[in-house]
Structures are given as structure tokens and as C-alpha cells.
A = this chain, B = another copy of it.
């Protein structure tokens, strides 16, 4: 593979390294670390399922946005206010 050997491979290669016992995964300029779970295989951090938790972040965000717009007022409190309003209006 002559094309490759001419290139500067030094900074280009990802590395798995042990730094005083810490396990470190690194990449070079503009290079990513990618986790690609399959439909049935999971990426787990400790006992946690990474994909599941990450989709929970979005669910949380959506819930928060809903609360911001529609309020986090429980139905019984809303009822109470409506009843009060009716009462006050009919006084």
C-alpha cells in the first residue's frame, strides 16, 4: 500500500492507551470517536444503556418544553381555579 506509507501516519491514527492505568481512547485532528450500536446490541456504560438514556434526554427536553408552554399545573388545581372563577362570577 504505497499510498498509505507515503502519508504521515503519526497524527492520523486513533489510539487506545493506558495512562497510569486509566484507559483512554484518542483520535487525531477532525477525527471522531463513534459508537454504533446495532438493533439488538447495546453500548453500556456500567449497567446503563447509552442509547436508551440518550433518547431519554430528548424526551426530557420535550417534556420540559411542554411544561414551559402549557404549564406544570396539575389538573385538580386547574379545576379548583375554574370552579372559583365560576363562583366569583355568579356571586
- Chain A positions 15-51 with a Cβ under 8 Å from a chain B Cβ: 15-16, 18-38, 40-46, 48, 50-51
Shortest distance from the beta carbon of A86 to any chain B beta carbon, whole Å: 10
On chain A, which size bracket covers the interface?
35 or more
Instruction: Tell me the complex Cα distance, A28–B22, Å.
Output: 8
Instruction: Evaluate contact between B43 and A33: CB separation under 8 angstroms.
Output: yes
Kindly identify which residue among B12, B13, B50, B67 contacts A64, using a CB–CB cutoff of 8 Å: B67
Instruction: Evaluate contact between B23 and A27: CB separation under 8 angstroms.
Output: yes
Q: Which 9 A-B pairs have the closest CB atoms?
A: A27-B41, A72-B72, A14-B23, A71-B74, A12-B21, A21-B31, A67-B72, A34-B44, A22-B32
